[in-house]
Amino acid sequence: MGLYKFVQEPLSFKAVAKLENEGYILKLKSATHVGKCEAGSIPFGVNLATTEDPAVSGTYKDSVPVAVARAGIVDVRFFGKQTIGVGDYLTMSAAVSTGCVHKMGTVVSSTPQLLVARAMEAKASTAASAAQKVKAVLIIR
């Protein structure tokens, strides 16, 4: 589980689509469902588990309950060709991959910069087709 420390109990919502990894930024799809947050959408929380079918390894389900953190120190997924430093702000605007963050200020966009988290560890830049996890403090309001 990608939760290190929390200030409230994780919430439970159903995922509208499969979540292959922990640490995606999620948005509310309804009162009971969440899905991966797109650039410009309002972030709600971070999934702490995948939706993998326990009976069939490598198979992921949708419409299954998933734990969601709204506060605390968690792993979030970032995607981009930038280096993340300790203390960098992470945002959803113009994210290059749904549910993933990027370093604030690295992408020019007309979409508002929606702060999601602040990095607690440094990570090297990634290739265009790879996402990584970075430990961060959630600052979703």
Residues sharing a CB contact under 8 Å with residue 50, sequence separation 6 or more, in sequence order: 19, 20, 21, 22, 60, 66
User: What three-state secondary structure class fits 92?
Assistant: coil
Q: For the segment 32-91, what is each residue's pLDDT rounded down to a tens digit?
A: 999 999 877 888 999 999 999 989 988 999 899 999 998 888 899 987 777 888 998 888
Clarify whether residues 10 and 43 are in a common domain.
Answer: yes
Determine the pLDDT at residue 109: 52
How many domains is the chain partitioned into structurally?
2
* Backbone region of residue 26 per phi and psi (left: phi > 0; alpha: psi in -120 to 50; beta: other values): beta
Clarify whether residues 123 and 108 are in a common domain.
Answer: yes
Give the end of a domain, one of 48, 73, 98: 73
Residues sharing a CB contact under 8 Å with residue 110, sequence separation 6 or more, in sequence order: none
Clarify whether residues 100 and 134 are in a common domain.
Answer: yes
When pLDDT is cut at 50, 70 and 90, the band that residue 116 belongs to is confident
31: amino acid identity, one letter: A
Give the end of a domain, one of 73, 88, 106: 73
Clarify whether residues 60 and 89 are in a common domain.
Answer: no
Clarify whether residues 55 and 93 are in a common domain.
Answer: no
Which residue matches tokens 């600052």? 139
Clarify whether residues 130 and 82 are in a common domain.
Answer: yes
Clarify whether residues 50 and 94 are in a common domain.
Answer: no
The token duo for 90 is 């992470």
